[in-house]
Structure 1
Amino acid sequence: MVTLRTIPFDERLAGKLAKGPGDGVSLHWLGQAGFVIDAHGRRIVIDPYLSDSLAVKYRDTAFSHQRMASAPLTADQLGPVDLVFCTHHHTDHMDGETLNLLASRLPRLNFVVPAASHELAQQRIGVDAGRLIEVDAGDRKRIGNLELHVMRAAHETVERDDNGRHRFLGYGLGFGNVRIFHSGDTISFDGQDKEIKAFAPDLALLPVNGRSEILRTSGFAGNMTLAEAIALCDRCGIGAMIAHHYGMFAFNTITPDEIDNAAEQAPVTLHRARYGIEFRLDDA
């Protein structure tokens, strides 16, 4: 049985990560949908947005992308990284400024990206195709000690490119007996439960910022609400969930109190992604 513990720490995240990955499986939040996962001596980073590139892009517009809180560290402070995942092409998930710095610092680092976005990934990351591991929904791969299951996501729809490849992905990450599901940006959709149940995750990392017609018509696709994310875990038999994709941009978030209050009544173990916390998965 896999259990989830929260371990507070006082030191800066950069200093903690500089020590390198240890034994076992642990996670640290980078903000938005970004996580560092240390698993059995290897470090994986998912959807790191550690720059202010969106604040520059949307400066003086109706939807300011100024950060509500500073990034917990810089791309150069992520320490040793073995693999990077991007769930889709939106900049807060595939940030050129962050990824290019990582690629330059770590010339042997590979990047798992949607095959539908391979050209954009090459351009933003600044690497040749040989450093990209292109995947699509339905793929199953073994990358070192990682078991990878690639699933569909619907950001608010299930979209494919002209070659039928999915633009939005979720990742099932298996580390021995510990299984983590990062949904990417998504709402619930037909067939999603079946895909998730087939992977049987112990922990789900799910967005909870919701969606609105105003944002949709302005070009900003939404995600599950907190209630929908909890219900998804309950239906799929996932015992623990970390709620994320909040607290980054003021126009597209929910409050921490909403998550904390929901945790008291949730049918699953619900945690709010927070800085200064190591989320530790123990395989009893």
Structure 2
Amino acid sequence: MLEKKEVASMADFMNKSNPLLEKKIQLVWLGQAGFALRYSNILILIDPYLSDYLSRKYKGNIFPHIRLMEPPMKPKELTHVDYVFCSHPHSDHMDPETVTPISQNNPHCRFIVPGPEIEEAVTRGIDRDQIIPAYVYQTINLCEDIKIQPIPAKHEEFKINEANEHSYLGYIFQINNQILYHSGDSVPYDQLPQLLKDYDVTIALMPINGRDKYRMDNGIAGNFKIHEVLDLCRNTTIKSLIVHHFGMFAYNTATKEELEYLENLQDPNLEIIIPKINYIYTI
């Protein structure tokens, strides 16, 4: 079971005011697919979307991308970030108004982005010298206790270049003796259950906004549906599920009824967490 604690502000967490003395992992949800992770004195961000960039970009569009929740902090307030992982180049995962100030204010920070998207990452405002390219099945070693395995993500489709390099990724985090999976944006694909079994993943961070023809026809690629997420967890080694990709945009979220269903679901073999802002989850 993950421990849960509410805090008045995430400032101390983000500023690493209190180093973790034990070999614990702490997670906070940033909204959408975004998370911050702390281990020891290392701060990792995954897919942070902390601006209102998309509401301006898509103003007047059929899907206006108006935020339903305020950002839990401003990107310029982040000055102790060690690593940022971007799963793919969509702007709620590689947000120029988030990554640019982080890059500028954290010169020691490294940005892990899909290999084919390096030039796009630079265009978004990340200093080229701070970029570490990620390729599927090529391990990234952050330190002795933290190793990352990029795996494919299928965001309705795989996006693969002529060199067979993937632009849509999920990340498996091997941190001390814990194995976490952040899916990025993805739908099910045949090889995924066995991949998660092979890495002995026990904690999964996965989207629940689903997909449909209307959204796809209007340029919005979809993700796992709730029953697909549950099936994947139950057919692999996953014991704890933290859902994401909900509550940000009205056109692309889980419904109130779906969230209530998850909240009330009792499964003795699967812990289901609907994360909240200003809560710290400790592993």
Per the shorter chain, which TM-score range? Answer: over 0.9
**Which secondary structure does the structure 2 equivalent of 1:28 belong to?**
strand
Separation in structure 2 between the aligned mates of residue 17 and residue 90 of structure 1, nearest angstrom:
24
Deviation of 1:73 after TM superposition, in Å, equals: 0.6
Alignment of 1:98-137 (within 5 A): 98-128=98-128, 130-137=129-136
Alpha-carbon distance between aligned partners in 1 of 2:244 and 2:194, rounded to the nearest angstrom: 23
Q: Could you tell me whether the CA contact under 8 Å between 2:79 and 2:106 is conserved in 1?
A: no
Query: Contact 2:78–2:105 at 8 Å: present in 1 too?
Result: no
- Give 1:62 deviation, angstroms: 1.3
Aligned mates of 2:32, 2:247 — CA distance in 1: 7
Q: Provide TM-score, normalisation by structure 2.
A: 0.94
Among 1, 4, 24, the alignment partner of 2:2 is: 4
Whether the 8 Å contact between 2:117 and 2:167 is mirrored in structure 1 is yes
Identity of counterpart residues, as a percentage?
31
Structure 1 Cα separation of the partners of residues 202 and 241 of structure 2: 9
**CA distance 1:21–1:231, change in 2 (3 Å):** farther
1:272 — aligned with what?
274
Count the aligned residue pairs.
277
**Aligned-residue offset at 1:96:** 1.0
User: Do 2:196 and 2:237's aligned partners in 1 also have CA atoms closer than 8 Å?
Assistant: no
| Deviations, residues 196-243 of structure 1 (Å, cap 9, x unaligned) | 111112210000000010110111100001111111111112000001
Partner of 1:17: 14
> What is the CA deviation profile of residues 19-55 of structure 1, one whole-angstrom value per residue up to 9, with x for unaligned ones?
2552421100110000000012211000001111100
Deviation of the 1:14 alpha carbon? 2.4
TM-score when normalising by structure 1: 0.93
- Residues 99-130 of structure 1, C-alpha deviation per residue, up to 9 Å, x if partnerless? 010000011211000001111011113312x3
Going from structure 1 to structure 2, the CA distance change for 1:21 and 1:246 (only over 3 Å counts) comes to farther
RMSD (Å), alpha carbons: 1.5
Contact 2:204/2:238, CA 8 A, preserved across alignment = yes
Q: Secondary structure at the match of 1:258?
A: helix
Q: 1:140 to 1:261 in 2, by over 3 A?
A: same
Q: Distance in 2 between matches of 1:178 and 1:199?
A: 11
CA distance in 2, matches of 1:21, 1:230: 34
1:269 counterpart letter in structure 2: E
Asked if 1 retains the 8 angstrom alpha-carbon contact of 2:88 and 2:184, the reply is yes
Residue in 1 that maps onto 2:226: 226
CA spacing shift, 1:38–1:260, aligned 2, 3 Å:
farther
C-alpha separation between the residues in 1 aligned to 2:226 and 2:212? 14
The residue that corresponds to 1:59 in the other structure is 59
4+ runs of 1 displaced by more than 6 Å?
none
8 A Cα contact 2:79 2:102, kept in partner: no
Q: Is the 8 A contact 1:263 1:269 kept in 2?
A: no
| CA 1:64–1:271: 2 relative to 1, 3 Å | same
Gaps spanning 5+ residues in structure 2: where?
Answer: none
Partner Cα distance (1:141, 1:126) in 2: 19
